[in-house]
Every structure is written in C-alpha cells, then in structure tokens.
Amino acid sequence: MRATLKDIAEEVGLSVSSVSRVLNNTGRISTEKRKAVMDAAKRLSYTPNVNARELKKQTSSTIGVIIPDVTNTFFVRLLKCIDHRLWEEGYNIIFCDTDESVEREMEYYQLLKEKNVAGIIVSPASRSMIYESETQNINCVFVDNEPYMTEKPYSFVSINNLQASMELTQRVIDAGYRDIIMITGDLDETSSNQRLTGFQNCLRDNHMECSQDKIYFGDCHYKSGFEIVERLIENHNLPECIYAHNNVEAFGAYAALRKHGVRVPEDVGLVCFDGEDPMSPQGLSITGIVQPVEEIAEAAVDMVLNNMKTPGKYSRKLLPYQFLDGQTIRNKNE
Amino acid sequence: MRATLKDIAEEVGLSVSSVSRVLNNTGRISTEKRKAVMDAAKRLSYTPNVNARELKKQTSSTIGVIIPDVTNTFFVRLLKCIDHRLWEEGYNIIFCDTDESVEREMEYYQLLKEKNVAGIIVSPASRSMIYESETQNINCVFVDNEPYMTEKPYSFVSINNLQASMELTQRVIDAGYRDIIMITGDLDETSSNQRLTGFQNCLRDNHMECSQDKIYFGDCHYKSGFEIVERLIENHNLPECIYAHNNVEAFGAYAALRKHGVRVPEDVGLVCFDGEDPMSPQGLSITGIVQPVEEIAEAAVDMVLNNMKTPGKYSRKLLPYQFLDGQTIRNKNE
DNA sequence: TTGTACGCGTTATCAG
DNA sequence: CTGATAACGCGTACAA
C-alpha cells in the first residue's frame, strides 16, 4: 500500500494535520519537526493522493479532450499542442477518441463529467448531442465543428470554413479547372457543411453549373475517399479536379489515383483542407487550406481556462487560415 | 454545483445510504422509493463522483499512457489501439506525450502515481530512470523500449529487434546493396541499440566491413533524418542504401533525398522500421520491418490488467514482426 | 427494508 | 506552534 499522511504522522509521532502543513508549506512548524516529516516522507516514498485532495478542495486538474480520430494528422497535432499548453498550466488530459461515433462521444462525455474534469475540449462528431443533454453549465469548448442544433450558448474556435472554401475553390477555378467534384462529409457537421456551401457559392459566383452529381458523400475515413475515387475511375467518370473536404479522404483519393496510374496533378488535380503533412515521406503536400493548429489549440486552452475563472462567459473565435500552394494542382492556363 | 447523493436524499426524504443502494442496485429497496430516487436523480441530473467512489473503494479506472511522440505514426496507432482495448474494459487513459524528454517523462510518472492510476503503459525515452526511482511495486508495463539499467523485474512487450534488424539487413544485402549506412538513435535506447547491433552483426556475418563512419546518430526527429542525409548529399557521400532505425527519421531522410532530386529506389535505397503509413498520400510504404501494433497494444493492455489481479507477476513477450516489401529498394542483381 | 456510523486521504477551522 | 475535529462524496458493515 501507498504511504499516507497518517503513516508519516505515526512514524514521526505527530498529528496528521501537522504533517499536511509541512508537506504543503502552509502554517508554521518548528524546523526540527519539519525535517523529521520530510525525512519520513522520503523514507516511505510518500506521494500525495490527488483524488483525495481534489475531493476535499473541490477542484480538478484534469481536462477531457474528445476528438473523432487521433490518426488524422490534424487532430493528432491538435492533441499534442493542447497537451503541451495544458501541461504548462498544470493540467493533464483524459484522452477520448470517438472513432467518429456520436454514441461513443456521448459516453465519453458522461464519463468525463463523472471523473470531475475541470473542462472539456471537444471536436464533436456529426450530430453531436453532447451539449443538448446538458442542464447545468459545463465548461466545454468546441473546436473545428459546432454542436448540432442547439439554442444554448457555447464557446467555439475554428476558422471561417465558408470563406476558406470559397477562396480555395476560386483558386482552383483560376488555375483553369472547370470540371470539379467535391467529396464532402456529413452535412450535419458544420465544417463539412460550410465547406460544401462555400464550394457551391463559388461555382455559382463564377456562373458555373453546380449540379448534385458533383457532390459525393464520404464518411471522413481514408477508405471512403479511396472507394469514391476508385469508382469514378472504373466508371471513366474522373473530373478535372477533386476537392476533398478533409485530408484523410484526400489521402484516400490520392492512393486510389496512384493505384490506377492516374498522375497528380498532370491528369487530375486534388485539393483539400489540412493536406499539409509535415512528416510526409516525400515532402509532398496537398494543395489547399491549412488551419493554424497551434493557434487553435492555444485558443481552445485559453477558453477552457478562462471559463474556469468566470463560468458562463462564452466566446467565439475564428482564426486566420492559410492557403498552401502544394504540388497537386497545376496551372492549366499556361 | 453538481448534485450529490445527499441532495437526492433530502429531495426524497431518505437516507444517503438508501439512495446509494438504489443507484448501485445493491441491497433491497421498496419499488416505490426506488422509483422516487430514480426520478429525483434524473431531475437533478445526478452524476456520480467517480473520484469519491474510487477513493472509498480504493480502486481506479484510469491507466496512464506515456509515449515519446504522438505524431509518430507508430505511437499514435499504439495509443489508439490501447485506448480501444481499455475502453472495452472500462478504463480510460491519461495521455502523456514526453517529447522524448526523460525529465518530462519522470514528471509525468510522478503525476500518474499521484493521480492514483491503476497502471501505466510506457514506451520509455532513452535513459529512462522511471523505474529505478521506484521503491514500491507499481503496475508498469514497458513497450518498445526497455528501461535503462535496472536490476528490477518488469513487464515488457515488443518484438525481437536484434533478429528483425539482422533479417532486414540481410534482405538489403541480398538485394545486392553493399555500401549501407545506418541512422541510429540513442544507443541507451534498447530498441535502437539492438537494431544497430543487428545491423553490425549481419554485416560481419557477410564478411563486410563495418566501420564507425557508417553509423550516424539521429535523435528520433524528422529534422535529424533530414539533416543527416542532406549533409551526405552535400558532401557527395551518399551510400547505396540508407537504413534508418525508425520511420520518422526515414521520412526525414526521404524528404531530403527528394528535395535534392535523388530518386528512391533508383539512385539510393531506403529501409527502416515501421515505415508502413496506411494513410500515406500516395500509398507508398518504406521497405522494412513492421511491428504488429495492434498485437503489441493488446498484449500491453493484457499485462496491465493481469498485473492488477496478481501484482508482482512480471511477463515478457516478443511478438512476431513482419517484413514489408515496400517500394524503396530494388534488386540490384537483375 | 431502511438508517446510523464510519472511513477512504486530504485540507481547513478552531482551540489550545 | 500543534492537535483535535469536521467535511469533501461515496460505499458498506452493522444495527434496527
């Protein structure tokens, strides 16, 4: 068994409260007894029981982080940045990977509450009802994607997906592409939704047709991007350019193209969000919009911490994004 | 404030213990009072305080997972698999990314103990002294890399790195490569160490020279692999084949080669451990040894759980690895 | 079937 | 300067 304050107290013949005072540097204690306590603590290799302490003090040093898929390069970088910032502030993370499942997300959410977390940073899955079930105000910051249908106020940090998507689409058009399809995610995800809307808006603005058969629905997995594109190839239905709503589906799409000997960008263009892979074996980056992961993480952490100080104060932040001029489209005008 | 058992008890005019019994389905309670309690619990949106419960019951449902770098595809997959298995078993994870820092690892370790985790799964950084500082027996399973210099027994799961490295090297030689260099990690890491030893052993077995200038020391980061290879290129000192001890440095190496227009595998070969990137944009995999991530994760989880039941029972497991015939070396004999 | 009393490990208040 | 005592939220042996 682990040593407790009581063990130390008995060891040195003092009261538990005195031992506590020594170990917390609170209150006045004679130097000799102090030394005795410190020695005993070391001897018994005492470690405080944080759970007991936080139960007593009604505090918590744990933050829950819920993300849909940690193997997605965007989310894993988000996780790492959040972890680093929180560590500096003396908090640590209960890690929750939902595999894009709303049910699992909900279960994790309940669990985090039971575990008494000081706050939650969540990149919600589609149709996330996390927040709706809530009666009391829990310190919850949403990232990347907004909760599904709620009248309740909440904190949120992301980029302006609508504007970013329009800008990206315009760049593709400016490069001379006309026949563009989009692989989108679940439209109940606000980020996917806005990216699709931005795509359609931009086509309309350019007086280009925007029929429904240019929209393909993926599920945020590699396999889905792969299969959609493979089907396009088999049906001899490849467009000039493929716009995937996120990096994972773009990677899947790329793999399908490569498998069938379709060259990028020579034969077909490919763009997406967050296609920058700093670890990419060949240093290849997919042209598109890049979200400022570090800044998003920092903002999310700040929001959670601020919410702890002044609960019920919600904020909303849309950070500037960047256009990454990668190697997956070419200028067809030249 | 969150509702407690006491709140419910007052609400329905019962004792706290009766309420507890209802909510835990323990002991006999009249159906009407049971219903009253359930209603009140729902009305007050009661959630149990797990910390208090576990403090009382002297249990814990949390496992600490310490890894050196979550952006490494090997570790992130390990993390995800561990999370999934633990979730099934009713545990969750406190996430600890040490950035390859021993100091940080140690701090995390202390913290996990203070947080009362039921066990720890750790892929230790080089010269990890985690374990040595320990007087009592903590439920700690090592993965991938063994603790540095200790007489104490411990649980461990990995592959046979020595044998795997010899096999990989032999394959490279069999493919006709003669001038091979190795990018290794810190030799106090047992995995790096064994991979290097395997490399050297195999060279010797083939009566090939194995001078020190064939060994380059990286630090497990992308940048290090990149810089080492870039320097080789600038010094016109490229070998026939580069053997990187892990995937991240291999990716760095690949990027450097690509940047300078060196073709793989036409101009130079490249092999490593865990070079399989299921998400790789172009579906390209680096030839080499692949560790069975899922099996390692499962074994680690099993060990932690078993250690909870029968403490002090250590086990050691080396799982079968695979050779991945990727696209980064060619047969020079043909 | 229900309530009382106690303790998990800590901190804080109040006496002395 | 030090030591009882209570309380955080919960579960359980014991008593009724």
DSSP class per residue in A85-141: HHHHTT-EEEEEE-TT-HHHHHHHHHHHHHTT-SEEEE---TT--TTTT--S---EE
B201 falls within a domain: yes
- pTM to 2 decimal places: 0.95
Other Cβ atoms less than 10 A from the Cβ of A330: the count is 15
Whether residue B168 is found in the same domain as residue B189: yes
Q: How far is the CA of B62 from the C1' of C1 (A)?
A: 36
B273/chain A closest Cα distance in angstroms:
14
Angle between the A5-12 and A31-43 helix axes, to the nearest 10 degrees?
Answer: 120
CATH, residue A31: 1.10.260.40
Q: How far is the CA of B15 from the C1' of C1 (A)?
A: 12
Domain that holds residue A167: 161-291
Lookup: nucleotide whose C1' is closest to A16 CA: D3
Domain count, chain A: 3
Question: Does residue B61 approach strand D to less than 7 Å at its CB?
Answer: no
What is the C-alpha to C-alpha distance for residues B316 and B295, in angstroms, rounded to an integer? 14
Pinpoint the alpha helices (H) of B123-274: 161-174, 190-205, 222-234, 247-259
B42 falls within a domain: yes
- Which of A49, A55, A279 is nearest residue B251 as measured by Cβ atoms? A279
Q: Of A271, A306, A278, give the one whose Cα is nearest residue A157.
A: A306
Q: Chain B contacts of A110, Cβ < 8 Å?
A: 47
Whether residue A209 is found in the same domain as residue A280: yes
B327 falls within a domain: no
What is the C-alpha to C-alpha distance for residues A192 and A230, in angstroms, rounded to an integer? 22
Taking only the tens of pLDDT, chain B with its 334 residues reads: 789 999 999 999 999 999 999 999 998 889 999 999 999 999 999 999 999 999 999 999 999 999 999 999 999 999 999 999 999 999 999 999 999 999 999 999 999 999 999 999 999 988 888 777 665 678 999 999 998 878 788 899 999 999 999 999 999 999 999 999 999 999 999 999 999 999 999 999 999 988 899 999 999 899 999 999 999 999 999 999 999 999 999 999 998 998 899 999 999 999 999 998 766 655 678 999 999 999 999 999 999 999 999 888 899 999 999 999 998 999 998 8
B210 falls within a domain: yes
What is the C-alpha to C-alpha distance for residues B137 and B132, in angstroms, rounded to an integer? 11
B168 falls within a domain: yes
What is the C-alpha to C-alpha distance for residues B109 and B115, in angstroms, rounded to an integer? 10
Lookup: nucleotide whose C1' is closest to B20 CA: D11
Q: Chain A contacts of B71, Cβ < 8 Å?
A: 73, 76-77, 80, 279
Q: Which residues pair with A157 in a beta bridge?
A: A143, A317
Q: Which residues pair with B271 in a beta bridge?
A: B243
Q: How far is the CA of A57 from the C1' of D2 (A)?
A: 22
The residue type of A51 is: N
Q: Which residue in chain B is spatially nearest to A281 when comparing CA positions?
A: B251
A140/chain B closest Cα distance in angstroms:
15
- Which of B54, B83, B279 is nearest residue A51 as measured by Cβ atoms? B54
Q: Which residue in chain A is spatially nearest to B62 when comparing CA positions?
A: A94
| Residue A249: exposure state from Cβ atoms within 10 A (0-12, 13-18, ≥19) | buried
Whether residue B29 is found in the same domain as residue B83: no
Q: Do A281 and B277 touch (CB under 8 A)?
A: yes
Q: Of A317, A228, A249, give the one whose Cα is nearest residue A73.
A: A249
Whether residue B112 is found in the same domain as residue B192: no
Whether residue A145 is found in the same domain as residue A191: no
